Structure formats: C-alpha cells, structure tokens
C-alpha cells in the first residue's frame, strides 16, 4: 500500500489541531507565568525594600550618633557591597558628601530619602514614634564612661542576686548607654532584696540633660501662655496640662533644639544600581527570569507531548480500520466514540454489500437457471424446440434484461451520474399515460385502476424518469392488490406537488415498513417470484425521487391497504 504523504496524514492534521490546543495552553502558561512573575516581583521588591531600609536605618543611626558626616565613606562602601547598590550622600544643597564608588553620574531629580535623625521616617523607624526623633539620637543624655561602668557593676550584682532566686536575667543597654535588666517573672521579694527598685534613679548626666530639656520646653510653653511642666526620662510632660497637644509639640521642639548640635545635619540619600541608573525593584533577577522561562517552556513542552500521545492513540484505531478495509475483513470496534461508530458503519456497510451481492446473484440465477434448464431439456429432446420454448426463453431474457437495467439505474444514482432532462410536465397527462399503460395488467389481475387530478399541476421534471417512478409504484400496487382497487391521485399543496398511489391490498406490517425501500426487499420471506418483480423497483423510486429533490414515503394498515406518497417541488415552469 502506497504511503500517504505527511501533509495528508491524520496524524499531521491532529498535530495541526494540537497547535491550537497549544495556543490555548499558552494562555494557561501565561497565567502561570504571571503568577510566578508576580511572586518573583514581590520577592524582588521585598528584597529591594529590605536593602533600602537597611541602608536608611544604618545611615540614620550613624547620623544620630555623630555631629557630622565625616568618615562615613567606609560605611557606604560596606552597605554597597552588601546590597549591590551604589549609595551617594549629598547635603540638602546637593553638594557631595560621600559616594560608594563609580564614575560621576547625574543625580536623579528626586532623592531616595532624607537622612535626618530628628525627622525619621516612622514607617522605617517605628521606634521614632510620632515625634520622628530617632531614639538613637541621645545627645547630652549619653552617659559618661565612669557612670556606665558603675551601673554595669550594679547590674551585674543584681543579675547574680536574681540567679539565687532562680530567675533568669540578662543585661541590656539603652541607646544612651544606661544598662538595665531583662528577666522572667518579678517576685517582689527578689526585686526588693536585689535592689531592682533603685534602677530608675537618674544619673548626673541624665539629670543635667533633663533639666536643660525641661527649660527649653517650658520656654516654649510660656510663649504660648501655658503652665510650666516637668519631664521624666520618657520625655512625658507631667503636671496640670491644659493643652496636651501644644505641650507635646513643645517637648518635640525642645528635644530637636537640644539634639541639633549632637547629630549630623540632614543629608540627601541617592540609591541607584551599580551602573548608576535609578534603582528599580521591578527588574527581575536572572534566577527569577530563568525560572519563569523554564516554567513557560515546560508547560508548552508538556502540552505538545500530551497532544502527540493523544494523536497517536486516536490514529491507531483509524489505522486498524484502514487495514481492515484494505484486507476486506470486519473492523474491530474498540471504542464508543466517532471512530467506533465509523467502524460499526463500515462493518454494517460491508455486511450489506455481501447481502446485496448475494441478492443480485439470486436474482440473476433464477432466469439464467430457467433458460439453461429449458435449453438442456430441448437439447436432450425432452421438450420440443418450438415457438412456445422461444417465447418462454424470451420472457426470461426480458426479465434478466429488466434486472440489469434496474441495477444500472441504481449504480448511476449511487455514483451521482444519473442524468435528468427536466422540462415542464403536466401531471394530469403523464398520470393518464401511466394508468393507460397498466390498465390491461390491472384488468388481468381483477384490479380497478383509477386516476384523479385536482386541477392541472405542472412541474419541472424529467418525464421519462417520472413515468418510471409512477410505473414502478402502480405496478407494485397492482401486484399486491388482486381483486382490489388502485387509485392514483395528484394535487398541489404548500408549494409541492403531491402524488399518491393507494391500494386496498393486504397492507404491510409496521415492522416491515422501514425496509420497504431497501434493495431486494420483499414482503414474502420465502422470496417467491410468483408475484413477480426484482425487488429493486421501490429502491429505484426513492433514488429517482431524491434526484428530483423530492421525497417518498409510505403508510400502511394491515388488511386495509397501502399508500405511497411522492412529494416533488412545484416551481414556476416559466
């Protein structure tokens, strides 16, 4: 068997369909890529924000603990190496202070942040609170080394004392260097014996700085006509306060005035990429980009692989069916889908073809057997070779010729080569001709033959083929209505020409009605030829009617009769 070109193979067509499926999968892949990209962007953005927050908080701490930006260069280089960014500090006038390195660049119009420990970003430095003052900016509240050493010794003794009470305690240090204790539990006995209640005593440095701050705050309060207040180490105003909001504003203003000489001046922070471009947290890293590409290619490849496997599986039963057709044997029905239906239809068609070949052989064998038998009898001298013999042989030959012509008509109809020569036809004239042609046969069978036409319907049809249709129906009705009546009626209805051939014969059982137009079908199961006919007449009627774009149907009642109805288009012949 010749190989089918690739472009015509079912597998190729299925692969073409798989491309469409792949396009659909790309949509799913795109969705997955978007999800992955979104997650990657969130990771990148989170990392970028974390890096930026690190840079900001460390530089802010540096500014809070030093009155100038001198010597900040090493810190900038360390931050740049940790974050992979370029970091530039300038004054508020954009005068350079320090740069982590690289060729000079044009600074962006907008700074990344302002480094000012007295006005810190409360989001990045929550400890600054509403005042915005970095808690690491302690200024004059920073303890001297002597004070810190003394307090460290006291705290060490207190921790040792607490351990005797089986209390775990650890030292911690406030931003100004003052030590304190973190411990679990707080039994009053242990706290009293270990001297914990004395830790809130102000040192000399704290007392002096707090006194100075109180003076600054009360000067502000007096300018606003408010009563003076006292402050504790949490910078909370104590006393009778008529305007808490104004008091809080004076406390914040006093703290800024007191700390201004102890912290570095405000500076502009510029964070860019290593090349000097503005930092963009939405640029994906190589790892995330590779991951997204891998996900996309993986999903697409998996889709194509699954499609190829499905296409191969689908084409396998088709190859089996093709092989069955080539070898002319039944095709196995392994599925219940369209391919299974196709295999079933093929098997049914193959079986019907075998039956039809058997029927044709049977129909041709009868007249040939009769001819052969009579000729052999004449040859042997059993019957005389006279006119009666030749007449009998002629009848069988005509029957054989009739069967062959019917088969040719059906073959032409099946092949689509049945030619029609339509012309305007008056049904009343054509039906009269058909009835007259069969009147003698009807009389011989004792059948009353009648024709009735409403008006004079005119249609566009092939008169020869139309007479063949009506002749087959009338002949069939006469054959199955001995001693009865056959009526031929024609009328126009709903744009159609309706022709009915009704008889008063024995009728057809409901079980047999669907097979009436099948080839070689006879109501007589014994296939007796006593009633005549080749079994092809009604099949030819259906084929010729459909060739005229019409339909034929049958209704029947057992014991009452049968009616065949032909419906043909009724166009305007003009």
Tens digits of residue pLDDT in 139-165: 999 999 999 999 888 888 888 888 888
| Max avg pLDDT among 349-363, 391-405, 500-514 | 500-514
Question: Per-residue pLDDT tens for 438-451?
Answer: 888 899 889 999 99
pLDDT for 472-491, tens place per residue?
899 889 988 989 999 999 99
How confident is residue 52, by pLDDT bands cut at 50, 70 and 90?
Answer: confident
pLDDT at position 220, please?
92
Question: pLDDT tier at 25 (50, 70, 90 boundaries)?
Answer: low
What are the pLDDT digits (tens) for 534-549? 567 788 888 889 888 9
Measured from the Cβ of residue 485, the count of other Cβ atoms closer than 10 Å reads: 16
Instruction: State yes or no: pLDDT of 273 exceeds 80.
Output: no
Rounded to an integer, what distance in angstroms lies between the CA atom of residue 212 and that of residue 204?
12
Torsion of CA 44, 48, 54, 56, to 10 degrees: -160
Distance in angstroms (rounded) separating the CA atoms of residues 409 and 362:
19
Task: Cite the beta strand spans of 224-314 per DSSP E.
Answer: 230-231, 237-238, 267-272
pLDDT band for position 522 (cuts 50, 70, 90): low
Q: Are 78 and 72 in contact, with CB atoms under 8 Å apart?
A: no
Residue 208 has pLDDT above 90, yes or no: yes
Confidence at residue 18, expressed as pLDDT on a 0 to 100 scale: 67
| Helix (H/G/I), strand (E/B), else coil: 395 | helix
Which pLDDT band, with edges at 50, 70 and 90, does 326 fall under?
A: confident
Asked if residue 59 has pLDDT above 80, the reply is yes
For a pLDDT cut of 70, what percent of the chain falls above it? 78
pLDDT at 40 over 60: no
Beta strand segments in 385-478, E: 423-426, 448-453, 458-461
pLDDT of 363 over the 60 cut = yes
pLDDT at 29: 65
Residues 6+ apart with CB under 8 A from 292: 33, 36, 37, 40, 284
pLDDT band, residue 2 (cuts 50/70/90):
very low
For the chain, the average pLDDT equals 80
Whether 9 shows a pLDDT value over 70: the answer reads: no
Buried b (16+ CB within 10 A) or exposed e, 185-197: eeeeebbeebebe
Residue 293 in tokens: 């590409």
Comparing 410 with 458, the larger pLDDT belongs to 458
Q: What is the pLDDT of residue 212?
A: 93
pLDDT (average), residues 546-573: 87
pLDDT at 497: 92
Q: What is the mean pLDDT of residues 19-29?
A: 69
Give the whole-angstrom CA distance, residue 545 versus residue 499: 11
Where in 298-422 does DSSP place strands (E)? none
In this prediction, residue 317 carries a pLDDT of 74
Task: Determine if the pTM surpasses 0.75.
Answer: no
- Angle, helices 463-479 vs 537-547, to 10°: value is 150
Predicted confidence at residue 37, as pLDDT, reads 58
């Amino acid at each position: 068997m010749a190989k089918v070109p690739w472009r015509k193979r079912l597998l190729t067509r299925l692969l073409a369909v798989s491309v469409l499926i792949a396009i659909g999968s790309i949509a799913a892949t795109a969705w997955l890529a978007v999800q992955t990209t979104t997650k990657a962007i969130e990771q990148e953005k989170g990392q970028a924000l974390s890096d930026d927050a690190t840079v900001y908080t460390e530089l802010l701490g540096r500014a809070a603990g030093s009155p100038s930006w001198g010597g900040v260069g090493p810190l900038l280089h360390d931050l740049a190496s940790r974050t992979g960014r370029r970091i530039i500090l300038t004054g508020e006038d954009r005068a350079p202070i320090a740069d982590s390195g690289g060729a000079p660049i044009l600074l962006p119009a907008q700074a990344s942040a302002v480094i000012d420990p007295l006005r810190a970003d409360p989001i990045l430095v929550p400890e600054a609170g509403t005042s915005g003052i970095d808690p690491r900016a302690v200024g004059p509240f920073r303890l001297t080394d002597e004070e810190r050493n003394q307090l460290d010794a006291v705290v060490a003794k207190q921790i040792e004392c607490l351990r005797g009470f089986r209390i775990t305690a650890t030292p911690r240090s406030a931003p100004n260097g003052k030590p304190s204790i973190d411990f679990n539990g707080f039994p009053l006995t242990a706290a009293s014996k270990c001297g914990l209640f004395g830790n809130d005593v102000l040192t000399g440095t704290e007392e002096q700085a707090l006194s100075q701050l109180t003076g600054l705050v009360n000067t502000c309060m007096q300018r606003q006509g408010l009563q003076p207040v006292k402050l504790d180490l949490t910078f909370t105003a104590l006393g009778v306060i008529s305007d808490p909001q104004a008091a809080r504003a004076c406390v914040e203003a006093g703290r800024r005035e007191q700390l201004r000489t102890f912290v570095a001046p405000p500076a502009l922070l510029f964070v860019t990429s290593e090349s000097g471009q503005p930092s963009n947290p939405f640029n994906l890293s190589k790892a995330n980009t590779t991951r997204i590409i891998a996900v996309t290619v993986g999903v697409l490849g998996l889709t194509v692989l699954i499609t190829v496997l499905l296409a191969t599986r689908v084409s396998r039963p088709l190859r089996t069916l093709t092989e069955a057709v080539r070898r002319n044997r039944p095709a196995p029905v392994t599925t219940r889908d369209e391919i299974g239906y196709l295999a079933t239809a093929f098997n049914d068609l193959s079986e019907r073809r075998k039956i039809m070949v058997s029927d044709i052989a049977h129909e041709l064998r009868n007249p040939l057997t009769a001819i052969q038998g009579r000729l052999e009898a004449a040859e042997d001298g059993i019957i005389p070779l006279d006119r009666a013999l030749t007449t009998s042989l002629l009848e069988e030959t005509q029957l054989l010729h009739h069967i062959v012509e019917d088969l040719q008509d059906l073959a032409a109809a099946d092949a689509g080569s049945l030619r029609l020569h339509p012309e305007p036809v008056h049904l009343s004239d054509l039906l009269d001709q058909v009835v007259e042609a069969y009147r003698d046969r009807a009389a011989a069978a004792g059948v009353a033959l009648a024709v009735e036409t409403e008006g004079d319907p005119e249609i566009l049809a092939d008169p020869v083929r139309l007479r063949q249709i009506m002749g087959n129906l009338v002949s069939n009705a006469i054959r199955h209505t001995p001693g009865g009546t056959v009526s031929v009626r024609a009328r126009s209805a709903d744009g159609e020409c309706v022709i009915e051939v009704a008889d008063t014969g024995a009728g057809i059982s409901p079980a047999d009605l669907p097979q009436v137009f099948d080839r070689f079908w006879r109501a007589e199961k014994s296939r007796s030829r006593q009633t005549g006919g080749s079994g092809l007449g009604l099949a030819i009627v259906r084929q010729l009617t459909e060739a005229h774009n019409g339909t034929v149907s049958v209704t029947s009642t057992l014991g009452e009769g049968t009616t065949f109805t032909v419906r043909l288009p009724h166009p305007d012949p003009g």
